Amino acid sequence: MSDLLEGALQAFWLVFGRDPVLIEISLRSLRVTLTALLVACVIALPLGAYLAVRRFRLRRYVIAVLNALMGLPPVVVGLIVYVFLSRSGPLGVLGLLFTPTAMIIAQVIIIVPLIASIAHQALRELWSDYHDLLISMNASQGQRIRALLWDGRRALLTAALAGFGRGIGEVGAIMVVGGNIDHLTRVLTTAIALETGKGEFALALALGFILIAIAIGVNLAIHMLSGTEREGRW
Amino acid sequence: MSNLFPLSVEGALTRRRGRVLVGPVDLKLDPTGTTMVIGPNGAGKTSLLRMLHGIARLGAGRINWACEEHEAQRHQAFVFQQPVMMRRTVQDNLAYPLRLSGVKRAEARDRAAVWAGKVGLGAMLTRQATVLSGGERQKLAIARALIRDPELLFLDEPCSSLDGRATREIEEILHGVAEVGTRIIMSTHDMGQARRLGTEVAFLLHGKVHEFAAADTFFPAPATAQARAFLNGDIVE
Ligand SMILES: Nc1ncnc2c1ncn2[C@@H]1O[C@H](COP(=O)(O)OP(=O)(O)OP(=O)(O)O)[C@@H](O)[C@H]1O
Ligand SMILES: [Mg+2]
């Protein structure tokens, strides 16, 4: 119990003392996850829409695989990315291992299935609404997908936020491919793991509180930004 | 006058899970006029319109347009029995078909505003279409169907939720577009409307076109007992 209290206090001092290390790793956390989120959305949202609109033979299997990949343990993703990026691996020449880019790659792989699945779920419902109308209007495949993405944007925002949540709190994969190197690849979650390992519970907790605060802050900010153009309940 | 017609339908039918919804249907439709599709609930009116429009797959038979099928598809519009509201504003719903065919945003929105005015939705341009009342939805759907100047317009009970005045207004619009050569095929349960707008009548029963005749012969003297019973409001066997 005293650890919690001390952690809260220490978090307070870290934040209000504008601790430079804290700021550095917090910003890195945000940068890595937001970049991964952006890339993942560019892949996953159209994929979700495509799966909703298009009936092809392997569709069920793609969806089943996506759903299965949602539960993929991050550390396994990390290992696979590690193997690919390691010096002797197929992409070793790029020299990406133990860089933020490697962490971004791993996070993209982790959150794409999640975002695509949620997006597909939501857009499938919208498509069953729109199906007759858009076909009647002779909308092309691309136009159908664009209509779904635009009109389903609230649901897609939820999908993106779920992806952000999974990314920002993820530790297994980025630990493996990033290496938790001070001033280079250390982020909030890996720092927490490190401090916990050293027995610095209060500091670890403090970082944890800050992580939670950032996650909540980003969610609120995005909801408020998107709320300005809202009318009606969807 | 429409380039899609004359239309000849030969033995066309649609199935759903092995059950025939409508057909086989044989019809010849001329380039002008308004065809009224009438019949009791479940007779297959909606199914027939959807089949002709091409959104219900043909299980058998042929639908022969006077032009390429792809070309024919581009010049049709359909107002559904349950209008589909896109999750956007009234104005953006109306502008959408124009945007699909490449009209610039500003022009599409201007034309949308004009059409909103024509159907009495002028004061609701910025309202979300999903919160409209049933009647307002139907008006929106009709305007959205007409905005691309279709050569052929399908309407599936377009006035079922409209009050008397709105019905008259819509009928006037339909009359106007029919006058400039838009071919209309519509279903209705309102026999007054069928008489006012129809030039020919397809009376459907049990998924078949039971009687097909010019309006001015059908209404005074239907050829079959079933059509007579239907017009009298009796139970149709
Ligand atoms: N998707 C479907 N699956 C199964 N049966 C269907 C489907 N659509 C229509 N039917 C059936 O086909 C028959 C004809 O339906 P349809 O909607 O064409 O009738 P309708 O003449 O338009 O009736 P209403 O006046 O009630 O609108 C009905 O018995 C209906 O239950
Ligand atoms: Mg019907």
Enumerate the residues of chain B whose CB falls inside 8 A of the CB of residue A136: 53, 55, 76-78, 80
pLDDT of B23 over the 90 cut: no
Helices (H), B75-133: 90-100, 105-118
- Average pLDDT for B209-236: 91
Percent of chain A with pLDDT over 90: 67
- Average pLDDT for B191-196: 94
Task: Give dist(CA A136, CA B67) in Å, integer.
Answer: 18
Nearest to A154, CA basis, from A229, A221, A217: A229
* pLDDT on residue B233: 86
* pLDDT on residue A234: 44
pLDDT of A228 over the 70 cut: no
pLDDT of A1 over the 70 cut: no
Which range is least confidently modeled, A153-157, B84-88, B100-104, B231-235?
A: B231-235
Chain A closest-CA separation from residue B212 CA (Å): 26
Enumerate the residues of chain A whose CB falls inside 8 A of the CB of residue B79: none
- φ, ψ of residue B41 to 5 degrees: the values are -55, 135
CA-based radius of gyration for chain B: 18
Contact B128 A231 (CB under 8 A): yes
Nearest to B112, CA basis, from B137, B138, B84, B140: B140
Burial track A170-208 (b if 16+ CB lie within 10 A, e otherwise): bbbbbbbbbbbeeeebbbbbbbbbbbeeeebbbbbbbbb
Percent of chain A with pLDDT over 70: 96
Indicate the burial class of B235 (C-beta count within 10 angstroms; 0-12, 13-18, 19 or more): exposed
Structure tokens at A140: 């092309």
* pLDDT on residue A211: 93
The ipTM (two decimal places) reads 0.91
CA atoms within 13 A on the CB side of B202: 26
pLDDT of B185 over the 70 cut: yes
Q: How confident is the model at residue A111 (pLDDT cuts 50, 70, 90)?
A: very high
Judged by a CB distance cut-off of 8 A, whether residue A130 touches chain B is yes
Instruction: For chain B, give every domain's residue range.
Output: 7-81+151-231
Residue type, A13: W
Strand order in the sheet with B60-64: B19-29, B7-16, B60-64
Percent of chain B with pLDDT over 90: 75
Task: Give dist(CA B103, CA B82) in Å, integer.
Answer: 27
- Average pLDDT for A1-10: 79
* pLDDT on residue A83: 94
- Average pLDDT for A64-89: 91
Collapsed DSSP state (helix, strand, coil) of residue B54 = coil
Collapsed DSSP state (helix, strand, coil) of residue B37 = strand
- Average pLDDT for A13-39: 90
Residue type, A89: G
Enumerate the residues of chain A whose CB falls inside 8 A of the CB of residue B127: 231
Q: How far is CA B225 from CA B88, B195, B203, B205, B230, in A?
A: 48, 19, 12, 12, 9
- Average pLDDT for A184-196: 93
* pLDDT on residue A230: 53
Task: Give dist(CA B207, CA B23) in Å, integer.
Answer: 6
Chain A closest-CA separation from residue B125 CA (Å): 13
Q: How confident is the model at residue A75 (pLDDT cuts 50, 70, 90)?
A: very high
Q: How confident is the model at residue A231 (pLDDT cuts 50, 70, 90)?
A: very low
A-interface mutation test, from B84, B92, B93, most A Cβ less than 10 A away: B84
Domains of chain A: residue spans and CATH: 2-233 (1.10.3720.10)
* pLDDT on residue A171: 92
Nearest to A133, CA basis, from B109, B85, B128, B99: B85
- Average pLDDT for A29-52: 95
Tell me, rounded to whole angstroms, the distance of Cα A38 from its chain centroid.
Answer: 8
Contact A136 B130 (CB under 8 A): no
Residue type, A188: L
- Which class would CATH give B7-81+151-231? alpha beta
Looking at every residue in chain B, the average pLDDT score rounds to 92
Contact A133 B84 (CB under 8 A): yes
- Average pLDDT for B56-64: 90
Collapsed DSSP state (helix, strand, coil) of residue B184 = strand
- Give, for B149, the enclosing helix (H) or strand (E): none
Percent of chain B with pLDDT over 70: 99
Task: Give dist(CA A191, CA A116) in Å, integer.
Answer: 30
Give pLDDT tens digits for B94-137.
999 999 999 999 999 999 999 999 989 999 999 999 999 888 99
Q: How confident is the model at residue A232 (pLDDT cuts 50, 70, 90)?
A: very low
Looking at every residue in chain A, the average pLDDT score rounds to 90
Tell me, rounded to whole angstroms, the distance of Cα A133 from its chain centroid.
Answer: 34
Task: Give dist(CA B14, CA B205) in Å, integer.
Answer: 15
Chain B closest-CA separation from residue A124 CA (Å): 14
